[in-house]
Amino acid sequence: LRKTSVQDLLRSTDLDREVLVRGWVRTRRGNKYVQFIALNDGSTIHNIQVVADAEKFPEENLKGVTTGSCLAVRGKLVASQGKGQAVEIQATEIEVLGTADPEEYPLQKKATSLEYLREIAHLRPRTNTFGAVLRIRHAMAFAIHQYFNDHGYFYVHTPIITGSDAEGAGQMFRVTTLPEQNPPLDDAGQVDYKQDFFGKPTNLTVSGQLEGELAALALGKIYTFGPTFRAENSNTARHLAEFWMIEPEVAFNDLEDNMDLAEDFLRSLVRYALTHCPDDLQFLNDQYDKELLNRLKFVVDNEFQRLTYTEAVEILKSAKQKFEFPVDWGTDLQSEHERYLVEKHFKKPVILTNYPKEIKAFYMKLDEDGRTVRAMDVLFPGIGEIIGGSQREEDLTKLLTRMQEMHVPEEDLWWYLDTRRYGTAPHAGFGLGFERLILFVTGMANIRDVIPFPRFPKSAEF
Ligand code: ATP
Ligand code: MG
Ligand code: MG
Ligand code: MG
């Protein structure tokens, strides 16, 4: 008997044949003549209905068939008489592979809140919601690689453990092999990292960008797609301690090209989700957010609004809405400001550019006025910042001045500076937070609900 997924069976037009399907029981209902078992194997949001006649399956043989138990069912795939499904399985053999005691099983049919599911995160992939989220997550990861591959980019794996802390001040997870108790000390009485594994302090990467730039200034068009780590204690619905970032970096691109890429990339990904994940999106739309599908289609069909930081500050200053943090030229925008621009003012995604140099990183290219840099943040409804990027400073002298201004030690980045010393070239890139993309595409409200395993403060059971 060929092994088939529920997805394959539900699409099948080849009826009245013997099939074998395995999966987990979502619900069981019925009467004394017949039992209906809704079986899900994770391949799709939909369940297949297994029909068990009481004559063949007396109640005592179905004892283990309860919500959450795992079954192997053999039977005949037939057209369904009932509403809601085209086909069903007329069971001939039901084997319980794993029981789930109804007294104990934490995922009973009663509505389970997302907060509750966060506490039993090891079981939540078995819910419809997390099944949908995880399948969409997979589809988006695949679409990202496909997009770059189709457009001639090379996938570069940047280091996870790194000695570069360019941007991570205060947000880094340190990595060390020195003993916690009585670590070796140097002459000055400080921990002697020369005796550490790499001979210097190291940490988990907060971004692959600087290393990505090295590769872009050799291969032309590259992207990274890997885990990044930030020990941010902020308990927001948008921040995780471990998240994935997609970072394209392109030689000879300027800020304009960078915006074009970001916009085309995001719209392609959303379009991919709409064509490849219609059932999961429909489920999330119906279950959580009736505007989800409209919002996704809107992004695909409409260009983003582009304006400068300075123009945005003017809009925010004259806005009727009272903000918790007042806006003034030179201050970083808060999520409330970003969301006002996107959700209230323009009612579409926004790309903000040319931020004051003081609030952006040292590597961004200085504008002619000497006050702003060629930065861009892409802001999305319900999210705020989804992408941060810039054209990079390719001029060695200007870069060194910026590093001094921002107190970035030159000796730590000698390797980075070499790219400007030898054959420097204009280039630009950005970072897209993968989970923020998934938040947008799934319409979920909290970033903690779009990751397979919890990674936020006080949450690492596994
Ligand atoms: P924010 O202002 O939201 O804190 P950021 O400006 O610190 O973000 P960047 O350093 O620009 O973030 O990183 C690039 C992208 O990575 C962001 O646009 C966002 O999509 C994502 N990102 C940043 N920090 C986190 C985090 N802690 N958890 C999840 N995604 C994040
Ligand atoms: Mg941040
Ligand atoms: Mg930011
Ligand atoms: Mg940013």
H/E segment holding residue 23: strand 17-30
Distance (Å) from CA 433 to ligand 1 centroid:
6
Tokens matching residue 285: 């739309």
Q: Are the beta carbons of 210 and 166 closer than 8 angstroms?
A: yes
Ligand 1: residue whose CA is nearest its atom 4: 239
Report the b/e string of 216-229 with b at 16+ CB within 10 A.
Answer: bbeebbbbbbbebb
Q: Look up the pTM and report it.
A: 0.96
At residue 166, the pLDDT reads 62
Taken in order of first residue, the domains within the chain and their CATH numbers are 6-98 (2.40.50.140), 126-171+206-449 (3.30.930.10)
CA dist., res. 434 & res. 142, Å (int): 12
Q: Are 462 and 453 in contact (CB under 8 A)?
A: yes
Looking at residue 334, the DSSP 8-state letter turns out to be: P
Atom index in ligand 1 nearest the CA of residue 436 equals 20
Average the pLDDT over 241-269 and give the result: 98
Q: Reply yes or no on whether the pLDDT at 111 is more than 70.
A: no
Average pLDDT over residues 18-37: 96
Query: Which atom number of ligand 1 is nearest to the Cα of residue 377?
Result: 18
Q: Whose CA is nearest to atom 24 of ligand 1?
A: 239
Residue type, 438: I
Question: What DSSP assignment string belongs to 362-382?
Answer: TTBPBPTTSSEEEEEEEEETT
Nearest to 246 by CA among 227, 277, 225: 225
CA-CA distance, 219 to 4, in Å (whole number)?
Answer: 43
283-300 pLDDT, tens digit per residue, is: 999 999 999 999 999 999
What tokens were used for 300?
A: 């695909």
The pLDDT assigned to 244 comes to: 98
Write the DSSP symbol of residue 383: T
C-alpha distances in angstroms, 84 versus 81, 317, 368, 393? 9, 53, 63, 59
Q: Match 């550019």 to its residue by tokens.
A: 353
Residues with CB under 5 A from ligand 3 (ion): 385
110 pLDDT exceeds 80? Answer: no
Task: Kindly tell me if the per-residue pLDDT of 108 is higher than 90.
Answer: no
| pLDDT higher than threshold 70 for residue 312 | yes
Rounded Cα distance, 449 and 462, in Å: 16
Q: Assess whether pLDDT exceeds 90 at residue 460.
A: no
| pLDDT number for residue 183 | 95
pLDDT exceeds cutoff 90 at 388 = yes
- Tell the residue number behind the tokens 């959700």, with chain if given: 343
Q: Cα(96)–Cα(63) distance, rounded to whole angstroms?
A: 9
Neighbour-count burial for 37-51, b at 16+ CB within 10 Å, e otherwise: bbbbbebbbbbbbbb
Q: Which of 204, 206, 239, 337 to mutate to test the pocket of ligand 1 (most atoms within 8 A of CB)?
A: 239
Distance 231 CA to ligand 2 centre (A): 10
**Residue 431 CA, ligand 4 centroid: distance in Å:** 8
Task: Name which of 309, 299, 388 is nearest 348 in CA terms.
Answer: 299
ipTM over cut 0.95: yes
pLDDT above 90 covers what percent of the chain?
91
Question: Which of 309, 337, 338, 436 should be mutated for ligand 1, with most atoms under 8 A from CB?
Answer: 436
Ligand 1 pocket by Cβ (under 6 Å) = 230, 232, 238-240, 243, 245, 385-388, 431, 433, 435-436
Identify the pLDDT of residue 461. 79
Strand ranges across the sheet with 242-251: 154-155, 221-229, 242-251, 427-433, 384-391, 372-380, 350-356, 305-308
**Cα gap 338→377, rounded to integer Å:** 10
pLDDT, average across residues 390-414: 95
Summarised one tens digit per residue, pLDDT across range 190-216 is: 999 999 999 999 999 999 999 999 999
**Of the candidates 89, 51, 94, 44, the residue with the CA atom closest to the CA atom of residue 69:** 94
User: Which whole number is the average pLDDT over 396-422?
Assistant: 95
